[in-house]
């Protein structure tokens, strides 16, 4: 292997991959980055055993030569050191593999060698069947993940809840996540002919969100029984799927409510954020919400050792009872509200110890369910 | 106590103080911030028992009313919570003390209470004698601290070495720091009539450097046997002094050298920074410096497990031998070079296992001494 490339271009292509690679991986070779030079240009691959990320630096961009390859080949070298080094070298980089798997990098008067691994030992990427494929606009997919991913379970006790369920139906994608105390669900309209559902680890989805792609570009999704691949113009992210059956969450969504209020999204979010200052000493960030009368709600929180806060906010519209009071996890409320772009939200109260439903005022595509906390 | 103030102004005044205050202080009241409202405006005080920082928000700035005080008084409240809260409240803040030491903060429809401490129990600031005083331009003082503070000892085994020695002589201030492996010394010209020296904890000096003051403003320094105060336009920083006798470092500076080279500062710094990528696996960041011939030095480092780097840099001028090779702590070199603004530096080699001397090419006011490492 022997090629010349701009160091800054290489580093920027590496950056998404380098984040995934742990320098203390249990499988030593996974602390390395795989570099392949062939007729397509350079392909960089990194993995943390759950995820593989592959990134291509094409030989030509807009007709301009980006990579000058004089010998094809491949190497695996320690990602952390390569990354640190490239940041500190001048921009003209000449990389060359040695017989023993190490590489020599020359740049101006500087010569450096990095030890490598036997690249034949690098795990093979799973093969994908190009028939099992669906295309999704990147922006829409990101929005659906952002509006659900926060609600996954942080505990490994039920692994299936640590993932986001992605359900493809006729012209529809439904993303759902729940940690059994709250639920987030988001439907997006896409062009799809497949009927399939997958549970994708939320850690893989957050890496996917970090890929720098334009909102309007498309993601090709390929899948097998165990793996899913998100393929964008220059990157591919391979993720394992989580096995096990995802709970039937549709049945949890209450069909009726005792009271539904409409309220300003930003105002409510700021109010709950303030209340959370005092809620941190509670295990569940207790924040109390009370419908005072037809016109006002009160948001309150108190911490005996520290102090208390209470504030009133205007109700835009109310349908039903005006004497409801409940305590929620303030962080759950905040995370649910953060994903809502509409000016106003509706909150439906199902009654004592029943979950509340938070929705944007006009769109039914986004839904959040939060269970109240017991305060006794 | 009862006053109205802009929340953002208050928060910005608090920010320097809040950094010093630990929310888990052994002395509970020191996790609080003291707020005094009197005829001068508001005075905020915070401490971590080594340092006190006092900041004044005057009632009037440029004739404009900033603070509206309707009742004088003082309180001590938990700094962490007050700070978090103020960031999240609208800008119009009305603060009022309650009979039991707590405060009520009102802002729009929001009402919040923060518990307080008995403000009489807050430690008194040491009294300063206004005769023991010297005036130093803020910018010059900061530069001298920046060029020496990095060299203090990180270990508490010889407490006096954890401080910077500030020595005032006739129209001169000399700052010195050493951890016994290296030494940094900086002389600045000031107007001074006093002959005094103090050893100031480097932690206090780094807080001082964080105070937002204009370079051209003056710092009034007051001192007693145990305390020193740095007083700027709006802030005062009180620091304890370190007792014990600082080593006589003048004797350590070698009077002659086997070889002195002049070299570009930025290039050398970048080269050593690159070499440090491979030196991190050594206890002392081993970087090797070799005078190859009259025209070039070689900077090299290697880590058996990872790889190696070597590069050549041009010598601008050489006086003496051209066959010298030594190993140094790369981090020490970097820290010394960072403080030097001149385009070129001179490095003087005293011979085998003797410390090297690094100086800006033209100014004798700044001097760094670094001991070589044994590599066997």
Please report, for chain A, the start and end positions of each structural domain, with discontinuous segments joined by +.
2-121, 133-249, 253-370
Distance CA B262, CA B268 (A): 11
Interface touch B115/A307, C-beta < 8 Å: yes
Which residues are CB-neighbours of A71 under 8 A, at least 6 positions away? A1, A2, A3, A37, A96
Q: Quick one: pLDDT at residue A346?
A: 97
Interface touch A270/B109, C-beta < 8 Å: no
Q: Does the pLDDT value for residue B322 go beyond 70? A: yes
Nearest alpha carbon to residue A328 among A147, A179, A181, A150: A181
Please check whether residue A287 touches B, CB under 8 A: no
Q: What are the structure tokens assigned to B331, written together?
A: 């981090």
Distance CA A223, CA A238 (A): 9
Mutate to test the interface with A, among B309, B310, B330 (most CBs of A within 10 A): B309
Q: Does the pLDDT value for residue A223 go beyond 90? A: yes
Q: What are the structure tokens assigned to A47, written together?
A: 């993995």
Report CA-CA distances (Å) from B175 to A348, B82, B133, B148: 67, 38, 18, 7
B162: left (phi over 0), alpha (psi -120 to 50) or beta: alpha
Asked if residue A144 lies in contact with residue A188, where contact means CB atoms within 8 angstroms, the answer is yes
Interface touch B111/A305, C-beta < 8 Å: no
What percentage of residues in chain B have a pLDDT greater than 90?
Answer: 76
What's the farthest any 2 CA atoms get from each other in chain B?
Answer: 79
Provide the shortest C-alpha distance from residue A281 to chain B (in Å). 12
Query: Residue A152: enclosing H or E segment and its boundaries?
Result: none
Nearest CA in chain B to A83: B277
Q: Which CATH class is domain B2-121?
A: alpha beta
Q: Is the dihedral of CA B56, B57, B60, B64 positive or negative?
A: positive
The neighbouring-strand residues paired with B103 are: B97, B114
Q: Quick one: pLDDT at residue B308?
A: 94
Interface touch B114/A310, C-beta < 8 Å: no
Interface touch B277/A81, C-beta < 8 Å: yes
Query: Residue B338: enclosing H or E segment and its boundaries?
Result: helix B330-338
A247 burial level (CB within 10 Å; 0-12, 13-18, 19+): middle
User: Complex ipTM, two decimals?
Assistant: 0.85
Mean pLDDT along residues A151-161 = 94
Nearest neighbour of A306 by CB, restricted to B78, B307, B313: B78
Distance CA A72, CA B191 (A): 68
Which residues are CB-neighbours of A321 under 8 A, at least 6 positions away? A258, A259, A291, A349
End-to-end CA distance of chain B: 68
Q: What are the structure tokens assigned to A15, written together?
A: 């950056």
Please check whether residue A323 touches B, CB under 8 A: no
Nearest neighbour of B277 by CB, restricted to A84, A278, A306: A84
Please check whether residue A298 touches B, CB under 8 A: no
Interface touch B307/A114, C-beta < 8 Å: yes
Nearest alpha carbon to residue A311 among A339, A336, A337, A276: A276
Please check whether residue B61 touches A, CB under 8 A: no
Interface touch B115/A305, C-beta < 8 Å: yes
Asked if residue B76 lies in contact with residue B115, where contact means CB atoms within 8 angstroms, the answer is no
Nearest neighbour of A88 by CB, restricted to B84, B274, B313: B274
Q: Does the pLDDT value for residue A101 go beyond 90? A: no
Distance CA B234, CA A134 (A): 63
Q: Does the pLDDT value for residue A67 go beyond 90? A: yes
pLDDT in tens, A232-278: 988 999 999 999 999 998 888 888 899 999 999 999 999 999 999 99
Q: Give the pLDDT band (50/70/90) at residue A165.
A: very high
Interface touch A311/B109, C-beta < 8 Å: yes
Nearest neighbour of A270 by CB, restricted to B88, B273, B306: B88
Interface touch B88/A311, C-beta < 8 Å: no
Mean pLDDT along residues A135-152 = 94
Q: Quick one: pLDDT at residue A128?
A: 83
Provide the shortest C-alpha distance from residue B232 to chain A (in Å). 33
What percentage of residues in chain A have a pLDDT greater than 70?
Answer: 100
Q: With contacts defined as CB-CB under 8 Å, which chain B residues touch A76? A: none
B261 burial level (CB within 10 Å; 0-12, 13-18, 19+): buried
What percentage of residues in chain A have a pLDDT greater than 90?
Answer: 76
Interface touch B308/A89, C-beta < 8 Å: no
Q: With contacts defined as CB-CB under 8 Å, which chain B residues touch A114? A: 306-307
Mean pLDDT along residues B327-331 = 94
Asked if residue A255 lies in contact with residue A350, where contact means CB atoms within 8 angstroms, the answer is no
Long-range contacts (CB closer than 8 Å, 24 or more residues apart) made by B82-86: B82/B14, B82/B33, B82/B114, B83/B11, B83/B14, B83/B15, B83/B18, B84/A277, B85/A274, B85/A277, B85/A309, B85/B112, B85/B114, B86/B7, B86/B10, B86/B11, B86/B14
Q: Give the pLDDT band (50/70/90) at residue A376.
A: low
**Residue of higher predicted confidence among A14 and B280:** A14
Nearest neighbour of A115 by CB, restricted to B114, B270, B307: B307
A19 burial level (CB within 10 Å; 0-12, 13-18, 19+): middle
Mean pLDDT of chain A: 92
Q: Does the pLDDT value for residue A131 go beyond 90? A: no
B191: left (phi over 0), alpha (psi -120 to 50) or beta: beta
Asked if residue B134 lies in contact with residue B198, where contact means CB atoms within 8 angstroms, the answer is no
Distance CA A332, CA A6 (A): 45
pLDDT in tens, B214-272: 778 899 999 998 999 999 988 999 999 999 999 998 888 888 899 999 999 999 999 99
Q: Quick one: pLDDT at residue B89?
A: 95
pLDDT in tens, B358-369: 999 998 899 999
B133-249 carries CATH number 3.40.50.1980: no
Mean pLDDT along residues A287-313 = 94
Query: Residue A12: enclosing H or E segment and its boundaries?
Result: helix A7-20
pTM confidence score: 0.87
Asked if residue A112 lies in contact with residue B308, where contact means CB atoms within 8 angstroms, the answer is yes
Residue A73: CB atoms within 10 A of its CB come to 15
Which residues are CB-neighbours of B236 under 8 A, at least 6 positions away? B52, B53, B54, B55, B229, B230
What is the 3-state composition of chain A as percent helix, strand, coil, each rounded to the nearest 5? 20, 45, 35
Q: Give the pLDDT band (50/70/90) at residue B376.
A: low
pLDDT in tens, B149-167: 999 999 999 999 999 999 9
Interface touch A310/B273, C-beta < 8 Å: no
Distance CA A257, CA A367 (A): 15
Matching CATH topology for A2-121 and A253-370?
Answer: no
Q: Quick one: pLDDT at residue A284?
A: 76
Please check whether residue B216 touches A, CB under 8 A: no
**What is the 3 state secondary structure string of A223-276?**
ECCCEEEEECCCEEEEEECCCCCCCCHHHHCCCCCCEEEEEEHHHHHHHHHHHH
Interface contacts (A, B; CB < 8 Å): 82
Nearest alpha carbon to residue B268 among B331, B334, B335: B334
B131 burial level (CB within 10 Å; 0-12, 13-18, 19+): exposed
Distance CA B234, CA A110 (A): 50
Q: Quick one: pLDDT at residue A281?
A: 73
- For residue B312, the SS3 value is strand
Mean pLDDT of chain B: 92
pLDDT in tens, B77-104: 999 999 999 999 998 999 999 988 899 9
Asked if residue A290 lies in contact with residue A297, where contact means CB atoms within 8 angstroms, the answer is yes
* Options 3.30.2130.10, 3.40.190.10, 3.70.10.10, 2.40.30.170; CATH of A253-370: 3.70.10.10
Nearest alpha carbon to residue A61 among A118, A12, A119, A99: A12
Q: What are the structure tokens assigned to A306, written together?
A: 């520290």
Q: Quick one: pLDDT at residue B81?
A: 93
């Amino acid at each position: 292997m022997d090629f010349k490339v701009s160091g800054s271009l290489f580093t920027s292509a590496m950056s998404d991959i380098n984040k995934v690679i742990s320098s203390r991986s249990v499988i030593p070779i996974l602390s390395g980055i795989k570099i392949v030079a062939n007729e397509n240009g350079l392909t960089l691959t990194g993995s943390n055993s759950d995820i593989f990320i592959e990134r291509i630096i094409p030989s030509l961009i807009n007709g301009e030569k980006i990579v000058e390859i004089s010998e094809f080949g491949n190497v695996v070298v320690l990602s952390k050191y390569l990354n640190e080094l490239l940041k500190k070298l001048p921009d003209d980089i000449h990389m060359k593999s040695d017989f023993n798997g190490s590489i020599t990098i020359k740049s101006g008067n500087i010569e450096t060698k990095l030890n490598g691994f036997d690249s034949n030992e690098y795990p093979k990427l799973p093969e994908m069947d190009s028939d099992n494929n669906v295309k999704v606009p990147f922006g829409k997919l990101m929005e659906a993940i952002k509006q659900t991913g926060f609600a996954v379970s942080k505990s490994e006790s039920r692994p299936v809840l640590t993932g986001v369920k992605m359900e493809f139906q006729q012209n529809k994608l439904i993303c759902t996540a729940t940690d059994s105390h709250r639920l987030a669900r988001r439907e997006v309209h896409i062009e799809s002919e497949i009927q399939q559902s997958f549970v994708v680890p939320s850690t893989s989805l957050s890496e996917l969100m970090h890929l720098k792609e334009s909102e309007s570009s498309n993601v090709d999704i390929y899948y097998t029984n165990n793996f899913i691949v998100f393929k964008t113009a220059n990157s591919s992210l391979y993720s394992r799927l989580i096995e096990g059956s995802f709970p039937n969450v549709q049945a949890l969504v209450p069909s009726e409510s005792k009271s539904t209020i409409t309220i300003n999204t930003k105002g409510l979010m700021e109010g709950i954020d303030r209340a959370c200052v005092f809620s941190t000493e509670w295990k569940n960030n207790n924040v109390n919400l009370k419908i005072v009368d037809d016109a006002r709600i009160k948001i309150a929180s108190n911490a005996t050792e520290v102090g208390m806060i209470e504030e009133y906010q205007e109700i835009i519209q109310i349908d039903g009872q005006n004497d409801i009071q409940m305590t929620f996890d303030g962080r759950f409320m905040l995370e649910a509200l953060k994903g809502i772009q509409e000016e106003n939200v509706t909150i439906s109260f199902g009654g004592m110890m029943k979950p509340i439903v938070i929705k944007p005022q006009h769109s039914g595509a986004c839904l959040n369910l939060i269970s109240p906390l017991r305060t006794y």
